[in-house]
Structures are given as C-alpha cells and as structure tokens.
Amino acid sequence: MPRWKTVGGALLRVTAVWAVSTLTMLALAGALPDFRLQSGDGDSATRTAITAASGAGAFGVLSALVWPLLVRALLLMPALVLGLLVFVLNGSMLLLAISLIPDGRGAVEPETAIVVAAVMSAASSATSTFLTVRDDGAYRRRLARLADRRRRRLGEDGGRALPPGTVFLQLDGVGHAVLREALRERDGRPPVMPTVAGWLGNGHRVMPWRTDWSSQTGASQLGILHGSNEDVPAFRWYEKETREVMVSNRPTGAAELQRRAAARAGHEGLLTVDGASRGNLFTGGAQQLALVLSVAARRGKHNRSRSGYFAYFSDPANATRTAVSFLAEVVREIAQATRAALRREQPRVKRGGTYPFIRAFATVVERDVVVTAVIGDILSGRTAVYADLVAYDEVAHHSGPRSRDARQVLARLDRSIALIAKVAERAPRTYRIVLLSDHGQSPGATFAGAYGLTLEDLVRAGCGLPVSRRAGRTASGAEACGAEAREAARAALRRPEKDGEGRPPSDPVVLASGNLGLVSFPDVSGRMSRERIEARHPALLRTLADHAGVGFVLVMSEEHGAVVLGRGGAEHHLDSGRTVGTSPLAAFGPGAAAAVRRTAHFANTPDIMVNSAYDPETGTVHAFEGQIGSHGGLGGEQGRPFLMWPGELSPPVGEGEELVGAERVHTVLRRWLAEANGPQTPQIPEAPEVSAGAPDKTRLNGATAAPFPVVSRVAPNKAR
C-alpha cells in the first residue's frame, strides 16, 4: 500500500480520537458544575468548542509525551501504590492541559479533574481501539513490521516460515477437578470457562499430574521452569546455617532458590532461548521479563522485570481502565465478605485489612499487565512464553476453592485466555497454547478455627512452654498441657541441653505452609534426631502425632532413618518400608510415601514436619494459617493440578503412566518445545518413578547424575 495512504489512515485515526475527546470534554463541562470551558462573561458555542478542542489536544499531547516519563520515574514504587496514583497523575495532567488554554477560559477543581481525566482517557482509548480493529489493513501491516523486525534481529530468512511458538499459561491454584467442573454445563447453564471447554472438545487433551509433597507455587514453579526443586521442603522454612527464614515469595528468597536450581540442573531454565517470563516467581532463564519476583530486588539495567509495568501503564488509558477495575474489585471483595459474614457461612476467615487491595492487585493489576505482555510477545513472534495468572489462587484461599467468588474469577480468566487466543490467530507465526496449573487447593476450616489453638500453641504445649490463655482453655490445649505431659516436659527442661556456648535451649521456630507445619530448634546445629527431640521434650512428638487435627509427623531417627509418626503409636519407616500398625500415610493415597521420603532427605528439611489431618470422604484439610482453601502439603485436590495441551503435541506420558513431580513436568514442556524446533537447552531424560526403597542416588538434580541424553519423542496417544 502506498505510504501516503498509511499516513493518511493514521492521521484520520488521530483526528477521530481528538474529535471524540473534544465532545467528551464538552459533555462533561455541561454536566459538572466545577468544570467550565468559558470565560466569566460567557462565550459563543463556536468559541467554547474551540476551547474544548484546545484542551483535548493539550491533554492528548501531554498523555503521549509526559505520561510515559512519569511512569518510568515511578517504576521503583510498589505496583499497588502506582495503581492508586493513576487517577491523581491523570488528573494533574488535565489540570496542566486546562492551564494551557489561551485566555484562561478553562477552569476545573482538582477533584473534578480526576473524574474528567478518567472519562476522557476511557473514551479516547475506546475510540482508538475500535478504529484500529476495524482497520484490518493497518493491523496486518503492524504484524508484518513486527515479524520483519524480529527476523532481521535473529538473522532469519524472511521467506522461510517460522516454526510454531508455544505459550504456557499457568492458572495458579486451579486443581484438575475444579477445572473439569468449570468446563461442564451445570443445570442447563453454559460452562464457567466456555473458551477452554471449546478447546477440550476441539483437539486439546487434559490430564492431572501429582505434585511433590510441597504442593505450592515456589516448589512447583521452580521445578517446572528450572528443572530442579531439590531442597525446597515448603513455601517457607528456617535455614540453620544462615539463621534466617527462607520465603519463596520474597525477592531475595526467589533469587536464591533460582540460583540453586540452575546450579543443580546445569542450565538456566526452560525459557533460555528466545523466551519470556511473565508474572512468575522465577525467570526460567528468559531475558524478556515482566513482574518476575526473582529479579525484583535488582536495580539498574539488569532488572527488566519492571518494564512490564512501564509498557502497560505508559498508556494512560490502560492505567485509567485498570485503576477503575481495581477500585471496583476492592468494592466487590468488601461486598462479598460482608455477605459471607451476614449469612454466617462456614468455614470463614477474616478478609479485612489490606486483603481487599491485595486481592484487587492479583485479580486486576497483575492480570492486565501479564495478559498485555503475553499479547505483545505473541505479536512480536516470540518462541516461548510462560505466564502465571494468580487471580484464582488468591481468591480461593479466602473464599474457598468452589465458592461463587472463585467461579467468577475463573470466568474472567477464561475471557483473558480467549483474548490471548484471538490475538494468536493473527500472529506472525502459529502458536500452540498449553494450559497448566502448579497445584490445586483443598478446602477446610483452619486448624485454629477447628481446634481453638494454633500449631505453635500445640508445639509450645508439648515442649512445656507457656501458651496463650485462650489456647489453654480449649480441649486440645488442655489435653496437650495435661498433668502427665506437663510434668514430663518440665522435668526435661530442668536439665536442658546446652548449646555450644553453654546457653539454655531457645524456643522452637514454628512456620506454616498451608496445611504443612515446620518446627526447627535453632540452637541445635544440623538436623535434630528423633532421639534427641524425645530426650529434650519427651511429650512433644506424641502430643503432635496424637492430635486429632494432625495427619502425620516426620522426623529423622538415628536408628531407622526417616520415620513417619501417627496416632496411637503407628509408624512408617520410610527407608526400609517397615510399618508399625497402620501406616499414617495410608489415608493420603498412592505416592504419599515416595513424596515424603524424597523431602525427608533434603538438606533443608526441618527437625519436625507436621502434615494436617485429611478426610478422604470430604477432601478437607486444616491449614495452619488463615486460609479455608489451602495447599502446601498432602491431602486432597491440592496435590492434583492439571496439564492441558493441543492434540498435535505428543502425550506427556505413556499409556497408563502417571505424571509425577514438577521436575517431570519440566522435561515434558522441554520436549514439546523441541518438537516445534524451539529453544534448545541441555536435554534431560524423563524422570522415572521413585521407588519405595532407599533414596535414588542417580537423581536428575543430584551431583552423581549421569550426562543428560536427548529426550526421544513419545508416539502420539489418541486417548484423551
């Protein structure tokens, strides 16, 4: 097409947006008493229209030139704060634009300027989007320019078709069972996720996979993106060497976990070559980053994660739309929490404080930024993209995995998936979209809500340490603090062990990761054995193992190795397979022993690990933190996420096999990239099932692992 037609089309769109902005400003001036576009003596309609056009033009120019500079200057601010400042910044630019109108004909109060700026930004954005979508020629030319620019950068032959790209979309916390329910019609109503349901009926396949014992994003995503989640026993744990608590969702913690995983796996990750990481805890080796936690603590040119905010919020219309949605989500959460309280729904947790804002950030700001970044990756023809959409997980923690609130979030996620798929249809290369989750969620009342005391209270009672008065009045607390247990604990404390400097033992560190509890004795170097624990705190292990809210307790014995303790003296010696009575792991299903045994031999595993009770009939567990939908340990749907892939890719595992562990998922995703001639990193073999015997010394991420051979492809499997 001749260049003059291209330029003419662009000028036409700019003129149309300007005209709509002018009309919007005129309408607002007539409706709002604190906003005028006339001099004190009044003006003619023509003069007023010229004034409005001047103001709209000045606001448009400032939005195009000044707004990106403001956003870049504010990138170091927390995203939540930046989102709240959007209205103020936009209103300030409108005030500046009005001040530039000749003869001082415009005037607006600051609070009114915020409203006017928001409405004008929304109107101009809608107009621009409508005209761009209607102009198919302009859209195709933009795609062609992006594709040509990319081919030149990669040195590719412009006449050669690009191989398919792959987009991995992680729906955080969506279990396999919850997904299947969202894809079915209910009571004559359409599916909650109609787009994904359509895929399943048109070539996609879906299957569950089984997580490691630590069923949470830190361990799962680290294994999926980097090929190793060794020494990650939980979401948070106490490291005795550094005397610090390692937390997966802190920037410094995520960076350290990523460094360790890359060193063990021998490569930088799934996305090393031409990849993009969006909204994740870890980079996966990608150079294109947005909202990636492991690099969030960096400063300077090496941190490109915040560029995702800049790319999105540099458009004031995007900023305004997201800010409006953010406030609407805060109101929605407050209304839903109030309704749950009025109906006395059970189980229920407190949802006040900052939670409405945290929820709004996860369900609106992060979603919008991540989806926009993925769309940009697709339009530029990037080869591999991995993005995490965290909205469902955040809401399900506080509202429940199958609550109406959570279903509404799934419906909105489906619309985001539909938008990404629509853009992919016009991308410069074919895209395969893979959906997966990192874990599910199991429902149930909190441990404290069900039994009146926290895990820390129970541990302290078993150690003979003071507990809160409230905990002591509960049945569980009274039993834990019973005369026999109290006397045994106090007798041990009268003759305490000393640390290396002769000091008495310190209080235990008790941490929670969903329904998984971790207990460490910081004054004892290395792993404290069962024998030493019983010598120091004779009542502790039995207090924990016999509690109705505890499913099992893991300790390391000097005589028997890794041992699982249950009620009534039941034991399961993991290294030998010997059991005393009924195995405490029996209720947790197949694979539980292998998962616990693997974690038992991690260097960072704490002195005691506690998994809450699990009811197989109801699927409920008891979180040791304030969540009625939880994950982090064993029990129920939290350990059964899903993997959904297009039929042209080879099946993840052979017929009759089960996909077990995040590291195994990593090998599957790498194989799929290789099938499309995508990014190549050192190939690793499909991980075999861990046997029920002693730990496998040839683990993929262990120091003694053999050289990595190339993965062979698996024959297509027609079974869904």
Q: pLDDT (tens digit, 9 = 90+) per residue, 282-311? A: 999 998 988 899 988 665 554 555 556 666
Q: Is the pLDDT of residue 541 over 50?
A: yes
337-362: b (≥16 Cβ within 10 Å) or e: beebeeeeeebbbebeeebbbebbbb
Are 716 and 650 within 8 A, CB to CB? yes
pLDDT at 16: 79
How is residue 694 written in tokens?
């002693």
- DSSP letter, residue 399: H
Measure the CA–CA gap between 486 and 466, rounded to whole angstroms.
Answer: 11
Q: 239-253, 321-335, 352-366, 650-664: which range is least confident on average?
A: 321-335
pLDDT at 172: 97
User: Rounded CA gap, 486 and 463, in Å?
Assistant: 8
* pLDDT surpasses 50 at 690: no
Half-sphere exposure of 720 (CA within 13 A, CB side): 8
Question: Which residue has tokens 């799929």?
Answer: 672
pLDDT at 584: 97
Nearest Cα neighbor of 58 from 13, 25, 89 is 25
* Contact (CB, 8 A) for 615 and 609: no
Task: Examine the pLDDT at 568 and tell me if it is beyond 50.
Answer: yes
448 backbone dihedrals φ, ψ, rounded to 5°: -65, -40
C-alpha 91/C-alpha 115 separation (Å) is 7
CA count, 13 A, side-chain hemisphere, 210: 18
Q: What is the average pLDDT across 334-348?
A: 93
Q: What is the average per-residue pLDDT within 220-236?
A: 97
| From 85-94, 198-207, 210-219, 240-249, the region with the lowest mean pLDDT | 85-94
For 574, phi then psi, to 5°, come to -65, -35
Neighbours of 173 (CB within 10 A): 29
Per residue in 461-517, pLDDT tens?
999 888 877 665 566 656 655 544 555 555 555 555 554 444 567 789 999 999 999
The answer to whether the CB of 264 falls within 8 A of the CB of 232 is no
Under 8 Å CB-to-CB from 202, ≥6 apart: which residues? none
- Split at pLDDT 50, 70, 90, the class of 191 is very high
Q: What is the DSSP letter of 364?
A: I
At 446-459, the pLDDT tens digits run 999 999 999 999 99
pLDDT of residue 687: 44
Binning pLDDT at 50, 70 and 90, where does residue 704 land?
very low
316-342 and 110-134 helices, crossing angle to 10°: 110
Percentage of the chain exceeding pLDDT 90: 55
Residues 154-182 have a mean pLDDT of: 84
- Residues with Cβ < 8 Å from 59, sequence gap 6 or more? 21, 93, 94, 97, 117, 120
**Structural tokens at position 549:** 């809210």
Statement: residue 25 has pLDDT above 50: yes
pLDDT surpasses 90 at 701: no
Q: Which of 230, 221, 214, 223 is nearest to 703 (CA)?
A: 230
φ and ψ at residue 594, rounded to 5 degrees = -65, -40
* Poorest-pLDDT segment among 178-187, 305-314, 683-692: 683-692
- Better-predicted residue by pLDDT, 179 or 56: 179
Q: What pLDDT digit, counting tens, does each position of 140-150 carry? A: 455 455 555 65
CB neighbours of residue 188 within 10 Å: 5
pLDDT tens, position by position, 94-117: 777 787 777 666 777 777 877 777
- DSSP letter assigned to residue 362: I
DSSP secondary structure of 637-674: GGG--EEEEETTSPPSS-TT---BSHHHHHHHHHHHHH
Q: Is the pLDDT of residue 375 over 60?
A: yes
Q: How far apart are CA 651 and CA 690, in angstroms?
A: 21
Mean pLDDT, rounded, of the chain? 82
Mean pLDDT value of segment 158-175: 85
